[in-house]
Amino acid sequence: MANIIDGKAIAKQIRTRLTDEAAQLLAQGVTPTLATVLVGDNSESATYVRMKHRACTKMGLGIVDKRLDNTATQADLEAVVQALNDDPAVHGILVQMPLLAGMDEDRIIDLIAPEKDVDGFGAINMGLLAQRGRTPHFLPATPAGIMLLLAETGVALRGKEAVVVGRSNIVGMPVALLLKEADATVTITHSHTADVASHLRRADIVVVAAGQPELVTGDMLKPGCIVIDVGVNYVDDPAAPKGYRIVGDVEWGSAVSVAGFITPVPGGVGPMTITMLIENVLMAAGR
């Protein structure tokens, strides 16, 4: 039976430390401040922004809350981002995706000043992450959280076989780069990989970020491996109080008896993400 990696408890510990760090900055007259930009009326995006605001407020950080409605243009959004870049009271900028249809997301992400790009998604920060010996201004929050969860297992990553399922810019690709920097040997699989399971079966470390409910099952895993399940999927379940339940990209029931360590969903990677975002804002304010 696998050891459960308790992301909720780990995130709570980190947040205690971050609350102290925020208090120290406040005592020095600096209010670490995150600016969020929400475009349109996507209710899921609004929920994510609200969660980030709540966490910031709870830990003593300041918030600048920018909202643009459905009539906003690319130029309107660029003007808002540029003004935040120029505002010395703003330490971190986060533009909540997705934007409106027709808007150029890459252009917006790259417009955020690299030293305020607390999501770490801009081409400068990603490029610095990809290059050997270079240090990005910020690590993207979810991949950084995953690396901390792996560290909590106490298992050395050097020389291990790591397989990442998914190659998105926000999770799969950056986590693969971080695993490579930790001296693991990394394979990235995606929707065109002929046989994902054949790669998984030799992996000591498995990170699944595919957005496919219960894609990875226990029979695909090497006994004793570490499984980090990033997926958050809502599946219909008439028996559940809300009519749905949340499952990961890994089938918990079969994986938990094969893996050595595993993250639950919810309560694994999720709680780490906002925590790491706040760490980035504090780092920006500290600089």
Distance from C-alpha of 266 to C-alpha of 269, rounded to nearest angstrom: 8
Interacting residues with ligand NDP between 36 and 65 (CB under 6 A): none
CA distances from residue 227 to 151, 209, 246 in whole angstroms, order as listed:
13, 11, 18
Counting every residue written for the chain, the total comes to: 287
Nearer to ligand NDP, 10 or 80 (CB): 10
Nearer to ligand NDP, 55 or 90 (CB): 55
Q: How far is the CB of 125 from ligand NDP (least distance, A)?
A: 17
Number of residues in contact with ligand NDP under rule CB under 6 A = 26
Distance CA 268, CA 235 (A): 18
| Shortest reach from residue 190's CB to ligand NDP, in Å | 4
Site string for ligand NDP, 215-234 (x = CB under 6 A): x--------------xxxx-
Q: How far is the CB of 11 from ligand NDP (least distance, A)?
A: 11
Measured between alpha carbons, how far is 66 from 204 in angstroms, rounded to an integer? 43
Q: Is the CB of residue 262 less than 8 Å from the CB of residue 218?
A: no
Specify whether the CB–CB gap between 56 and 94 falls below 8 A. Answer: no
Residue type, 52: K
What are the phi and psi torsion angles at 138 (to 5°)?
Answer: -145, 145
Single-letter residue type at 150: L
Task: Give the shortest CB-128-to-ligand NDP separation in angstroms.
Answer: 20
CB of 19 to ligand NDP, least distance (A): 20
**CA 72/CA 160 separation, integer angstroms:** 48
Q: Which is nearer to ligand NDP, 56 or 165 (CB)?
A: 165
Active site residues: 52, 96, 119
Question: From the list 77, 270, 275, 278, which residue makes contact with ligand NDP (rule: CB under 6 A)?
Answer: 270
Among positions 114, 211, 260, 267, the unique one binding ligand NDP when judged by CB under 6 A: 211
CA dihedral 251, 270, 93, 136 (to 10 degrees): -70
Residues 114-153 binding ligand NDP (CB under 6 A) are 142
Nearer Cβ to ligand NDP, position 184 or 230?
A: 230
Exactly one of 269, 277, 282, 284 binds ligand NDP (CB under 6 A); that residue is 269
Distances (CA, A) of 38 to 31, 145, 248: 22, 24, 27
| Closer residue to ligand NDP in complex, CB, 210/281 | 210
Strands of 132-218, DSSP E: 161-165, 185-189, 205-208
Q: Which 3 state secondary structure label does DSSP give 145?
A: helix
* Nearer CB in complex with ligand NDP: 112/230: 230
Binders of ligand NDP among residues 149 to 208 (CB under 6 A) are: 165-168, 170-172, 189-193, 196
Point out which residues bind ligand NDP (CB under 6 A).
142, 165-168, 170-172, 189-193, 196, 209-212, 215, 230-233, 269-270, 273
